[in-house]
Structure 1
């Protein structure tokens, strides 16, 4: 069996922090698993298709679409979400270069929009839903160019800093990790606005993993808390873990359908 946090391995420190946490949770659950390296640009769909997943991060959109034979384990509660009273949720942040003259999202229309990949909620589906409110078939495309797929949140940041795009999406948890571990990089970008909250990406196991194994794993995750497990959680900007119902992610499908109904199927 394998564990993996590729989705949030946005810095070397975050990578090591997630490996340490996942290994410790597996140990406390009385289980064994390999902390698999699966670096970008390898497609996450290849990881999610495996039959030996024990605790692997998955985007909420493909989970809601039931594209892979997996079952939910837990969802992380970030410190930011806990402070906002939105446990187990996150947002897509629309970020721009620090020197950008844009003061609202409409100021970026006509420019260049970056994105991660069309299979991502935070990097595409949430962006499409948010922008669909501005779209009309009778007006020009919102953006002159769409830059992507950039695959990772970090590449969105780097693309904006390099002047190759004018605005782009960033998962709010990825923002927290990057600000915590690479503040020098993040001082070159700023948040313009954000999307509605949505359920966080979740840790999943293969559908074939037995219920007692899932229960042991969940128990170990849910026992983590900021007071007693700061050494594991603080480096990852986490508060705790929760186990929402499996249908919590249906809202991201609903938002895709709304964007489609508005005539905004692809970013443009």
Structure 2
């Protein structure tokens, strides 16, 4: 059967295709607030965008650093909404950084990449050991950007990256140029070429797993496969995991569980 997208806005619309979609945001808010009330956390930096990010600390000396980058099509949300997703890596003894970035239209995607880089490098300066990077949706795109061989992360930090796990990533930005969202994002051909992980080379030595729900929109499944396939052809160790029965809003929930396959893969 031929696959062809006729409505690009619908192709990237998640809530319209998820039963009970309106219940997820309030639940995330409740879960995040409850987690923050008891977790040990501090800002990633003293001011600016770093101050809006969080560093969660385990009870004992950290075994390493996990990084989660939030989604929202680069236009919505902030790291605090996803605080509860730090629970899984924290329980396994890892510190968890959740960096912030300036949202569109105030910033272009290239600037967001630089801000996430700064957040990870700030956390890496405080937490020793391996660094495992994940992110969801637009955050999956930014997670994959950290594994690109274009000098995004400095060499010393990049050498510590043990895994990159983009969840439901937007690996190729060119289709987004066809959506109404681009009135806010302002992606042009040059930025799509420079900021699409699928159009860039992977940094050697970083294993990459793309992870996507089996009930997600076909475009998200295609994008997850695309990145894994292209980077495998460029020499990276990759896998695409299609998690059965999960959609775009619940595929990330397993990060809150220390023994879930998703958390295990991130920290393997």
TM-score by length of 2: 0.29
Q: TM-score, normalised by structure 1?
A: 0.29
Greater fraction strand = 1
Which entry has the higher C-alpha Rg, 1 or 2? Answer: 1
**Larger RCO, structures 1/2 (Cα 8 Å, 6+ apart):** 1
